Amino acid sequence: MGDTDSNGINKIQTMTHPNPTLCEQATIREVGLRDGLQSISRILPTAQKLQWIQGAYDAGQREIEVGSFVPPRLLPQLADTEELVVFAKTLPGLKASVLVPNLRGAKRAIAAQAYSMLLPLSASHAHSLANMRRPPDEVVDDIQTIVKARDAAGSATRIEIGLSTAFGCTLQGKVEPVEVLRLVKAVIDAGVDCVGLADTVGYADPAMVKRLFELCLPVAGDKLNCGHFHDTRGLGLANVYAAMQVGIRRFDACLAGIGGCPHAPGASGNVSTEDLAHMLLSMGIATGIDFGKLMALRAQVAGWLQGENLYGTLWRAGLPKTLQAA
Amino acid sequence: MGDTDSNGINKIQTMTHPNPTLCEQATIREVGLRDGLQSISRILPTAQKLQWIQGAYDAGQREIEVGSFVPPRLLPQLADTEELVVFAKTLPGLKASVLVPNLRGAKRAIAAQAYSMLLPLSASHAHSLANMRRPPDEVVDDIQTIVKARDAAGSATRIEIGLSTAFGCTLQGKVEPVEVLRLVKAVIDAGVDCVGLADTVGYADPAMVKRLFELCLPVAGDKLNCGHFHDTRGLGLANVYAAMQVGIRRFDACLAGIGGCPHAPGASGNVSTEDLAHMLLSMGIATGIDFGKLMALRAQVAGWLQGENLYGTLWRAGLPKTLQAA
């Protein structure tokens, strides 16, 4: 793995995925129910969330982040997460993940037998203090504790790290790639199952995405398996494409692009599921998604969220004539 | 250049730009005054267009498509093109291009001593009949006639082909890459100075862009030097990035993304100049553009175009903190 410097960090080296062509299959994890809904104040009724999960499942989605195990007083929008996990587990093959900020939340995820728990870790020191109330290294310690608790419980719940502000931070500005690399190595060493790099504030560009994934892949290997991109500056899909070119094949997205960046009022949230699904369909990459069903679900969810800012382009432009049979 | 089949077309072969890293410099040609304004019914007063050209020049843009030499009854919005060319020629180093649909328009461009004339050629047979009222091969004949007329006049006006519907067509559907290749070869043989591939209707995806440019580069070499992408399905910037990866470094864009696709009502037009400028700035690629001045111009033009659909994200999100000194 190359030289190691005095801090135990592999010297900067890059690895390009051996196959320069794109993958044949990719996964879109629907995060609208968590990342999307947590950023709007309206509380979607549980019955509608259940319909959303069922609809996404019927449209072929097999990974859904259904909510977050945070105290309901902090995010009342997500207070029904347990119920959603229970329902998601009735749908064969559906991998339901939940966001978990600490050990208490992790215990709830283990008890609920969630497929996966997503633990956030900020690469930005300032963002970590603001969002997690402790520096990144303390969060890494907590992650280690959570891995041990999961293992001690004999739980099958997977532990995934969402490495946020990996491409920059609205509070701190620049985030050094070597710091991202250090944290990726730390959580891999802590025994997590997988890691994703998140452009929480929409600062990433495709060249940056390619470089950062290439930097971290030698340390994380196949465990680095998710890209989470916000479309704040119109680069969400370009960033997905750049990550795919270095072998990443799993991406977070929100139906109708709901959500947003609290630091850029009015700016759009995550890449929209339907626009990403179209890009992958157009490139001949299998996602298992039935585009017509996905668009019908988009229309239904848009109806529930009237008055909120919705994004994406496919709802208006429709599929190209060349893809309409797909 | 490889084998040639019975139709005189080089067998499909691809060439990747020898330097896989991105270029250090790229050019954004402003086409808002032509592609943008022709697609909205409002007629922008000449005085405002002159301010726009001056503002774009002051912001560092050095290529501007100022209008079109078509009969004013067809596009009254662009009836003042001659005057704009005259003004543009007073700005040192500014390359002003005009769109020209036929020999009559070409003669006007030559008389006006435009830096460059852009001749459209549809790769889609159906689009060519609908838009040019003749099949592509007859348009190629006209292009040959125009090249001869230009040369006979001893004119320095460059001739550039905008190969439209190169990635698909709303009328015909699929456009075969070999047909695009054949037409690129035909116009190069006709003696044009350069060629660009245009995704007129927003059907392209980045993998398609990479493949089509790679297919045509061996035939056109450095003469294939422009990408024109519409953002109809949110892929405009991803497509630019894909083209850059195979060595293309010149792109059309419209300030505020004005314009649109007549076949997708409400869908956005070209990639927006400011969003593209941000992507290139973020990737460290020099464009000569002063971002602050560009955004001030964007605000001014948006004021003139109140009530029209405007696009782009940077006007709302602003530059990332990490780029704000730039």
Query: Distance of CA A65 to CAs A56, A218, A223, A244, A249, Å?
Result: 11, 27, 19, 21, 17
- CB atoms B322 and A203 under 8 Å: yes
What is residue A181's predicted lDDT score, i.e. its pLDDT?
98
**pLDDT bracket for residue A6 (50, 70, 90):** very low
Structure token digits, residue A155? 């739980």
**Helix extents (H) in chain B:** 46-58, 81-88, 103-111, 125-132, 136-152, 177-189, 206-220, 236-245, 273-282, 291-304, 314-317
Mutate one of A175, A271, A283, A313 to test the B interface: name it (highest B CB count within 10 A). A313
**Section B259-266 average pLDDT:** 63
**Section B227-236 average pLDDT:** 96
At how many degrees (to 10) do helices A177-189 and A206-220 cross? Answer: 30
C-alpha triplet B36, B40, B43: angle, nearest 5°? 95
Residues of B in contact with A201 (CB under 8 A): 320
- Distance from C-alpha of A163 to C-alpha of A199, rounded to nearest angstrom: 9
Percent share of chain A, pLDDT over 70: 90
What is residue A263's predicted lDDT score, i.e. its pLDDT?
56
**pLDDT bracket for residue A267 (50, 70, 90):** low
Q: Could you tell me which chain B residue has the CA closest to the CA of A272?
A: B234
Nearest CB to B282 within list A205, A265, A312:
A205
Mean pLDDT for all residues in chain B? 92
At how many degrees (to 10) do helices B46-58 and B291-304 cross? Answer: 170
What is residue A22's predicted lDDT score, i.e. its pLDDT?
85
- pLDDT digits 0-9 by tens, A100-122: 999 999 999 999 999 999 999 99
What is residue A261's predicted lDDT score, i.e. its pLDDT?
60
Structure token digits, residue B40? 């909205």
Percent share of chain B, pLDDT over 90: 87
Q: Which domains does chain B have, with CATH numbers?
A: 27-323 (3.20.20.70)
With CA atoms as reference, report the closest residue to B278 among A197, A238, A280: A238
Least confident of A35-49, B218-232, B243-257, B260-274: B260-274
What is residue A9's predicted lDDT score, i.e. its pLDDT?
38
C-alpha triplet B319, A237, B64: angle, nearest 5°? 60
Structure token digits, residue B300? 């001014």
Residues of B in contact with A312 (CB under 8 A): 234
Helix (H) or strand (E) holding B31: none
- CB atoms B313 and A203 under 8 Å: no
**pLDDT bracket for residue A266 (50, 70, 90):** low
- Distance from C-alpha of A213 to C-alpha of A228, rounded to nearest angstrom: 12
Least confident of A3-12, B174-183, B232-241: A3-12
**Section B199-205 average pLDDT:** 94
**pLDDT bracket for residue A324 (50, 70, 90):** confident
- pLDDT digits 0-9 by tens, A269-278: 899 999 999 9
Residues of B in contact with A240 (CB under 8 A): 238
- pLDDT digits 0-9 by tens, B80-125: 999 999 999 999 999 999 999 999 999 999 999 999 999 999 999 9
- CB atoms A313 and B233 under 8 Å: yes
Q: Does the global pTM surpass 0.90?
A: yes
Cβ-contact A196, A224 below 8 angstroms? yes
- pLDDT digits 0-9 by tens, B3-57: 434 433 333 333 333 335 688 999 999 999 999 999 898 999 999 999 999 999 9
Q: Cα distance from A47 to chain B (closest Cα, Å)?
A: 32
What is residue A268's predicted lDDT score, i.e. its pLDDT?
74
**pLDDT bracket for residue A8 (50, 70, 90):** very low
What is residue B18's predicted lDDT score, i.e. its pLDDT?
37
Cβ-contact B35, B270 below 8 angstroms? yes
The answer to whether the Cα torsion of A150, A156, A157, A161 is positive or negative is positive
Q: What values do phi and psi take at B25, rounded to 5?
A: -140, 145
Mean pLDDT for all residues in chain A? 92
Residues of A in contact with B207 (CB under 8 A): 22, 282-284
Q: Is A261 a catalytic residue?
A: yes
- Residue partners of B73: CB distance under 8 A and separation at least 6: none
**Section A78-91 average pLDDT:** 98
Three-state SS for B206?
helix
